[in-house]
Amino acid sequence: MSAEKKPLQGRRREPMTDAQLLMTISIGIFAAMYLAAMFTLGGGFNKPQMVFDLLNDNAALIIISCALTVVMIGGGINISVGGVIGLTVMACAMFLNGCGIENSFVSIALTVLLGLAIGLAFGVMQGFLVSYLEIQPFIVTLAGMFLSRGLTTMLSVNPVKVTHEGFQALVKTKIKISQLGYVAQNGNLIPAKLEIGSIVALCVVIGVFLMLRYTRTGRNIYAIGGNQQSALMLGINVKRTRFASYVVSGLLSGLAGLVFLLHKPAGNASVAMRSEMDAIAASIIGGTLLTGGVGNVIGTFFGAMILATIQKIIALSPLNQSWWQEMANGAMLGFFIILQSVVLSSRGKGKMRLPAWLTFGGKRSVVQNR
């Protein structure tokens, strides 16, 4: 007697991955913080322009946070991103002032190529040392940080303000959204304004997300971060993949320097000082694990927005001294590290069950009636 096929009972979704769960927690905390600021502080938080201001002021941070996320997912680290931003800003500012090219389009295009070339050079150099010579990434990128800061100081010990008229016009260019504006007390409509750098940062987040999710290189980065030996057994070229992650990180660092220059058109030796620490914090708060294999740039974006929101809340509150900002960032980072450890260990031991509404984003699986 042949066994009859059992009818399909239904379909269910698999639970979220660790990265999706941690990203969801970050988004929820950002929303809760922003809503709390709206009801307690009011003021600018009640206007859409506040969100745009957070993007405008932190576009470069968002980009280097994405750069850190790519490297950290692969099990590495890159603490030279802040130094590369400083070097890019100084070199591009001096080039714009001294190039002597009358055509603004050509001079700006060459400036963009210069900034990307600086980032690419650091990415290739550090990627080669880490991937093919197998030197510890912390040591390599620490040397890269010192090198970039030293080169910045060598270029000029004094602040350099961009005087290029074409670039200044680009800095002043804002995308105006009247529908999200507000009416001032004099009756004039003040439109919401978004800077070019913010558009670039959002495009970077989307581009890196698509790269990590849908390309072979992106999947390989997750694989080598999760388990390098298993990745080798699967035939993945670990050295080439890790090298690619540092090249991407370097390019994004150079791009972040250009975005920083678009927001503040001046270079000095202290530009983006300690921004690599903020980028690492944003990545961790967004759900990226230092051990590798887990992370999502969407979560990183909201991690950066959480840090930016904390800074804005403290600036508008009576506790506006600088040390409160540092303490708040440290407390938030520590909270997320503990949260990650608790959540992931609980899920691994099967002690934590998620509600049904937190099961989106997984693949559908067929449940048979046995």
Q: What is the pLDDT of residues 286-314, one digit of tens each?
A: 989 888 888 899 999 999 999 999 888 88
**355 inside domain:** no
pTM, full prediction: 0.88
- The verdict on residue 320 lying in a domain is yes
The C-alpha angle 75, 58, 143, rounded to 5 degrees, equals 45
Sequence letter at residue 170: L
pLDDT computed for residue 293 by the predictor: 87
Better-predicted residue by pLDDT, 200 or 335: 200
Query: Considering the domain boundaries, does residue 121 fall inside one?
Result: yes
Which range among 38-52, 96-110, 132-146, 316-330 shows the weakest confidence by mean pLDDT? 316-330
Please provide the average confidence, as pLDDT, over all residues in the chain: 85
| 320 band by pLDDT with thresholds 50, 70 and 90 | low
Give the mean pLDDT of 254-263.
96
CB 282, CB 201: distance < 8 Å: no
Residue 364, in any domain of the structure? no
Q: Residue 22 — very low, low, confident or very high, per pLDDT cuts 50/70/90?
A: confident
Q: Report the C-alpha gap between 137 and 225 in whole angstroms.
A: 14
The band of 349, judged by pLDDT with boundaries at 50, 70 and 90, is: low
- Residue (of 122, 119, 97) closest to 108 by Cα position: 97
Residue 42: is its pLDDT beyond 80? no
Is residue 12, in this structure, part of any structural domain at all? no
pLDDT above 70 coverage of the chain, percent: 86
Rounded (5°) CA angle 220-288-203: 75
Question: What φ, ψ does residue 323 adopt, rounded to 5°?
Answer: -70, -25
Which residues span the domain enclosing 130? 39-163+195-347
Residue 351 clears pLDDT 70, i.e. is over it: no
pLDDT of residue 358: 42
Helix axes 196-214, 238-263, angle to 10 degrees: 170
Tell me: the pLDDT tens digits for 222-254?
A: 999 988 888 889 899 999 999 999 999 999 999
Residue 340 vs residue 81, higher pLDDT: 81
Question: Residue 332 — pLDDT band, cuts 50, 70, 90?
Answer: confident
Identify which has the larger pLDDT, 49 or 299. 299
pLDDT the model gives residue 289: 87
Confidence band, pLDDT 50/70/90 cuts, at residue 114: very high
CATH number at residue 55: 1.10.3470
**Does residue 129 belong to any structural domain of this protein?**
yes
324-358: b or e for each residue (b if 16 or more CB lie within 10 Å)?
A: bbeebbeebbeebeebbeebbeebeeeeeeeeeee
Q: Quick one: average pLDDT of 319-346?
A: 77
- In this structure, what are the phi and psi dihedrals at residue 215, rounded to the nearest 5 degrees? -105, 160
Domain assignment present for residue 28? The answer is no
**Please, what is the angle between helix 297-316 and helix 18-40, to 10°?**
20
CB 279 within 8 A of CB 68: yes
Q: Which pLDDT does position 370 carry in this prediction?
A: 35
Does 360 map to a domain? no
118 burial class (0-12, 13-18, 19+ CB within 10 angstroms)?
A: buried
Q: Is the pLDDT score of 366 beyond 60? A: no
Number of folded domains that form the chain: 1
Which phi and psi (to 5°) does residue 26 adopt? -65, -45
Please give the full DSSP string across 267-324, using - where no structure is assigned: E-TTTTTTHHHHHHHHHHHTT--TTSS---HHHHHHHHHHHHHHHHHHHHSS--SHHH
Report the alpha-carbon distance of residue 208 to residue 65 in Å, rounded. 11
The pLDDT of 307-328, averaged and rounded, is: 80
